[in-house]
Structure 1
Amino acid sequence: MASEITKILLADDHSLVRDGIRLLLEEETDLDVIGEASNGKEAIEMVQQTMPDILIIDIRMPEMNGIEAVQWLNENGIAVKCIILSMHDSEEYILNAVKAGASGYLLKDTDKSEFIKAVRTVKEGGKYFSGDISNVLVNNLFNQSSTQQKVEVKPSKEVPFDLTNKELKVLELVLSGYTNKEISEKLENSKRTIETHRFNLMRKMKVKNLIELSTKAREFDLV
């Protein structure tokens, strides 16, 4: 007996990101990407038109961000399960996503096996979260009585250069003299992921070497 096909809608303002996720998902015979959106408003319109099983949506997008779109769908009784996909692992983003009605929250450096597991878990009615949030916090959150009141979505505290929590951790370890291999072991990420974080640090902070990185990090009280 053939597996039931899970219909998925992708929403991200970067076409390359959407292409990558589509390729990853469609390697699985039971997952089908039926549409793509480039902002929150477009995602809402396409959900109503195509009625996917799951909406995978980024947080930061033009027109309407991902959390606002998930909140709108939830408040208006649109039967679609939502997974937030983001580079931000701050607790505040995660809590706002949950309050808005998201069934899952994945970081963009999540590996394929975890990504697929999350999609299937959410399709079956479960919840799936990755990133720096404890199981206790998630359980407490979902044990609270659910009400259909409007959720005020507050942006997380601004960090200089728009660095994520993970990038700040990598920055601290880099400036403490740890190698990429040692950092990957400490943070339980692949060496390639750590190299990507280092590259993003240099790009965001507009520095060319370790000395400039250290100087600017101290100038902005990042370490």
Structure 2
Amino acid sequence: MSKITVLLADDHILVRNGIKAMLEADEDIIVVGEADNGVQAVQRVHELQPDLTIMDIRMPEMNGLEACETIRKKNENTKVVMLSMHDTEDYVLESLRVGAWGYLLKDTDRVEFIKALKQINNGIRYYSGAVSNILAKQLLGKGANGVRVNEIVDSGGTDVYGLSKREKQILGLVINGKHNKEIADVLEKSIRTIETHRFNIMKKLGVNNAVDMINKAMRENLLQNT
């Protein structure tokens, strides 16, 4: 099986060296290139076509967010993973907007770091625990009209994807971190019924997993009053 190829983009060489040593200790990963600013990162992605690019947010000439958006607009095949010491809401949401496949904090331990990269390489988005909480909070928080999402979820009706009132209820509970059994208990339904609803939600949204389901719901404000 071919190794996962990675490009490292960070303006601190000590940070790059540390990440490179950590990644290459895993037999499935190889670092094929490095960049110390956003402009160089975009160029190296085009030249090397790595599977993944680990991108620091704060870099000179072009920051990581701008570089990620440029890479996405150029339709490069690499999946960008944002890396930062900051878990601020603005950074997290902007990373999602520009097309990042994941967001990892610089204090992430090796086991989680490697797990995240392999998951992203397989087409499944990944966000550190603290970052996931920000996404859920944003989605469950108040919309521009001041109405809370968990009030809207019970309001009935459908949307462009044809989500029913019950499907919106379940989607809201999934975003709030509830597992199938907990959702079944809350709604007084069987676990199999909840599983069927979740399958139907993902089918309607055109996604294959819960992370992409949550991302799409947030990106398109599916639970906000329209």
Question: Which TM-score tier does this pair reach, normalised by the shorter chain?
Answer: 0.5 to 0.7
Q: Distance in 2 between matches of 1:56 and 1:128?
A: 13
Give the drift of 1:75: 1.3
* Corresponding residue to 2:19 among 18, 21, 42: 21
Q: Confirm or deny: 8 A CA contact 1:91 1:133 kept in the other structure.
A: no
Whether 2:143 is the aligned partner of 1:69: answer no
Q: Distance in 1 between matches of 2:90 and 2:132?
A: 10
Q: Distance in 2 between matches of 1:145 and 1:25?
A: 31
Q: Distance in 1 between matches of 2:26 and 2:34?
A: 18
Map Cα deviations across residues 185-221 of structure 1 (whole Å, 9 max, x no partner). Answer: xxxxxxxxxxxxxxxxxxxxxxxxxxxxxxxxxxxxx
Q: Distance in 2 between matches of 1:17 and 1:145?
A: 32
Give the drift of 1:26: 0.1
1:52-201 correspondence to structure 2 within 5 Å: 52-130=50-128, 131-134=130-133, 136=136, 137=139, 139-143=213-217
The letter of the residue matching 2:132 is: I
Seen in structure 2, the aligned counterparts of structure 1 residues 132 and 78 have a Cα distance that, compared at 3 Å, is closer
Provide TM-score, normalisation by structure 2. 0.61
Helix, strand or coil at the partner of 2:86:
coil
Seen in structure 2, the aligned counterparts of structure 1 residues 132 and 55 have a Cα distance that, compared at 3 Å, is closer
Q: Confirm or deny: 8 A CA contact 1:70 1:100 kept in the other structure.
A: yes
Q: Confirm or deny: 8 A CA contact 1:12 1:61 kept in the other structure.
A: yes
Q: Confirm or deny: 8 A CA contact 2:52 2:81 kept in the other structure.
A: yes
Q: Confirm or deny: 8 A CA contact 2:6 2:50 kept in the other structure.
A: yes
Q: Distance in 2 between matches of 1:144 and 1:105?
A: 16
Map Cα deviations across residues 69-126 of structure 1 (whole Å, 9 max, x no partner). Answer: 0001111211110100100101110000011000000000000000000000100000
List gaps (5 residues or longer) in structure 2.
Answer: 140-210, 221-226
Q: Distance in 1 between matches of 2:131 and 2:17?
A: 27
Helix, strand or coil at the partner of 2:81:
strand
Give the drift of 1:144: 5.7
Map Cα deviations across residues 131-178 of structure 1 (whole Å, 9 max, x no partner). Answer: 2432644654323678xxxxxxxxxxxxxxxxxxxxxxxxxxxxxxxx
CA RMSD of aligned residues (A): 1.6
Helix, strand or coil at the partner of 2:58:
coil
Q: Confirm or deny: 8 A CA contact 2:103 2:131 kept in the other structure.
A: no
The letter of the residue matching 2:127 is: F
List gaps (5 residues or longer) in structure 1.
Answer: 147-223
Where has structure 1 moved over 6 Å in runs of 4 or more? none
Helix, strand or coil at the partner of 1:77:
coil
The letter of the residue matching 1:141 is: N
Q: Distance in 1 between matches of 2:99 and 2:42?
A: 14
Q: Confirm or deny: 8 A CA contact 2:64 2:82 kept in the other structure.
A: yes
Seen in structure 2, the aligned counterparts of structure 1 residues 140 and 20 have a Cα distance that, compared at 3 Å, is same
Provide TM-score, normalisation by structure 1. 0.61
